């Protein structure tokens, strides 16, 4: 006989002898939650009403009332109810606008990456893959200036001045000083960049300096100009015509606003420099009114990008020699041969052999 403990009821058994517990017994045997958990549950019961803030996610109680899945906010993913709205009438137009925006962005990215890479004509295992720097441009302009002094008969005029890359860069950097500095009653007294007088008298560039005065002994000035920090254009400044012509090998790269931003300082300060520097009796010939300027589109174009420096140098050389621009002779197909020839001419005519090893005291005889 089994012993019966007083005060406790024996659980019922089924036909197989398995003990059966009722719901009240199961509920009473559950472990009680901690006190802070009970407080949180009480707060949740008090705040069953959820404020609708526009979210598409529905709370658990709402889903139960609507007969939806009760697993919201549980282990299973939440349920999101979407409104059955019709697409807007201009849906097709909006999609086309998005596609066009993406296309334009991809074109800009591709062009940006392409401009960072050297052109095929610049890739060499011996000379490196770099864009034309100021030193390279100045070396070619030095050679052209030397040819001008040695063979004046080659050129279209004996009143030519070929500048370096410094004037355009310095005058753009110092233009704000010229504008902000107040002028005297006789319009003199404005602040010009340092070295302006030396340019006016032909003392610089120092290599093969021409030593001719602008306005009297010089009528045509040629100069390269850097635009957007990675693009070269050529300038032909006609002093008698008071006009600046811009030759651009990639007209689609820099806008008219970019060109104007870089040319305007020269167009403003150059006539002022000549006006205050020339003889007093000649000042009426050189008013301080700014020069006019234009960009010529019908010049040989660099379609593959990256050779704008060579095109700029060839624009200056051809015009100074009196030759017309030829799209057959100056083109991307021949630009590599033109670059190699230009490199050899600079090396031979300017006798450029690099830095003299004797300037390095720590080098041995065979270094």
Quickly state the pLDDT bin for 324 (edges 50, 70, 90): very high
Q: What is the rounded CA–CA span in Å between residue 95 and residue 77?
A: 31
Terminal-to-terminal C-alpha distance of the chain: 113
Quickly state the pLDDT bin for 111 (edges 50, 70, 90): low
More confident site: 92 or 66: 92
User: Has residue 269 been placed in a domain?
Assistant: yes
Range of the domain at 154: 134-350
User: Has residue 153 been placed in a domain?
Assistant: yes
Does residue 92 register a pLDDT over 80? Answer: no
User: Has residue 82 been placed in a domain?
Assistant: no
Kindly report the CATH number assigned to the domain that includes residue 295. 3.40.395.10
Quickly state the pLDDT bin for 118 (edges 50, 70, 90): low
The structure tokens listed for 211 are: 């030593």
Average pLDDT over residues 229-257: 94
Quickly state the pLDDT bin for 59 (edges 50, 70, 90): very low
Does residue 141 register a pLDDT over 90? Answer: yes
User: Has residue 360 been placed in a domain?
Assistant: no
The phi and psi torsions of 122 (rounded to 5 degrees) equal: -100, -5
DSSP helix, strand, coil percent of the chain (3-state; round to 5): 40, 10, 50
What total number of domains does the chain contain? 1
Measured over all CA atoms, what is the biggest interatomic distance in the chain, rounded to whole angstroms? 143
User: Has residue 23 been placed in a domain?
Assistant: no
Q: What is the rounded CA–CA span in Å between residue 147 and residue 346?
A: 11
pLDDT at 57: 39
Name which of 74-83, 95-104, 219-228, 280-289 the model is least confident about. Answer: 74-83
User: Has residue 253 been placed in a domain?
Assistant: yes
pLDDT in tens, 160-198: 999 999 899 999 999 999 999 888 887 788 899 988 999
User: Has residue 333 been placed in a domain?
Assistant: yes
- Find all residues with CB under 8 Å of 161, minimum gap 6, and list them: 202, 210, 212, 214, 218, 220, 221, 222
User: Has residue 85 been placed in a domain?
Assistant: no
pLDDT in tens, 20-47: 455 455 444 555 555 544 555 455 454 4
Does residue 113 register a pLDDT over 70? Answer: no
Give CA 193 to chain center in angstroms: 27
More confident site: 20 or 144: 144
Q: What is the rounded CA–CA span in Å between residue 106 and residue 114?
A: 12
């Amino acid at each position: 006989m089994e012993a019966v403990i007083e005060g406790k009821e024996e659980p019922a058994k089924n036909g197989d002898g398995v003990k059966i517990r009722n719901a009240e017994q199961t509920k009473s045997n559950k472990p009680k939650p901690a006190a802070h958990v009970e407080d949180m549950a009480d707060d949740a019961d008090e705040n069953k009403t959820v404020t609708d803030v526009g979210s598409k996610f529905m709370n658990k109680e709402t889903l139960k009332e609507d007969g939806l899945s009760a697993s919201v906010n549980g282990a299973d993913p939440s349920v999101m109810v979407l409104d059955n709205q019709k697409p807007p009438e201009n849906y097709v137009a909006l999609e086309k606008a998005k596609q066009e925006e993406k296309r334009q962005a991809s074109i800009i990215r591709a062009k940006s990456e392409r401009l960072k890479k050297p052109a095929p004509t610049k890739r060499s295992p011996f000379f490196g893959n770099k864009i034309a720097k100021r030193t390279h441009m100045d070396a070619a302009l030095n050679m052209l200036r030397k040819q001008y002094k040695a063979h004046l008969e080659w050129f279209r005029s004996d009143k030519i001045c070929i500048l370096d890359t410094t004037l355009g860069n310095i005058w753009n950097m110092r233009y704000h000083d010229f504008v902000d500095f107040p002028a005297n009653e006789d319009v003199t007294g404005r602040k010009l960049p340092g070295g302006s007088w030396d340019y006016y008298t032909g003392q610089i560039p120092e290599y093969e300096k021409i030593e001719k005065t602008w306005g009297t002994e010089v009528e045509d000035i040629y100069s390269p100009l850097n635009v957007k920090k990675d693009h070269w254009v050529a300038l032909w400044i006609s002093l008698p015509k008071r006009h600046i012509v811009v030759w651009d090998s990639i007209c689609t790269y820099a806008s008219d606003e970019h060109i104007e931003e870089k040319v305007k300082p020269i167009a403003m300060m150059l006539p002022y420099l000549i006006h205050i520097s020339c003889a007093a009796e000649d000042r009426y010939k050189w008013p301080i009114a700014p020069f006019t300027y234009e960009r010529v589109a019908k010049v040989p174009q660099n379609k593959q990008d990256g050779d704008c420096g060579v095109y700029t140098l060839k624009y200056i050389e051809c015009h100074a020699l009196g030759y017309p621009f030829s799209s057959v002779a100056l083109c991307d197909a021949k630009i590599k041969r033109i670059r190699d020839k230009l490199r050899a001419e600079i090396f031979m005519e300017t006798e450029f052999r690099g830095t003299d090893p004797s300037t390095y005291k720590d080098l041995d005889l065979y270094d």
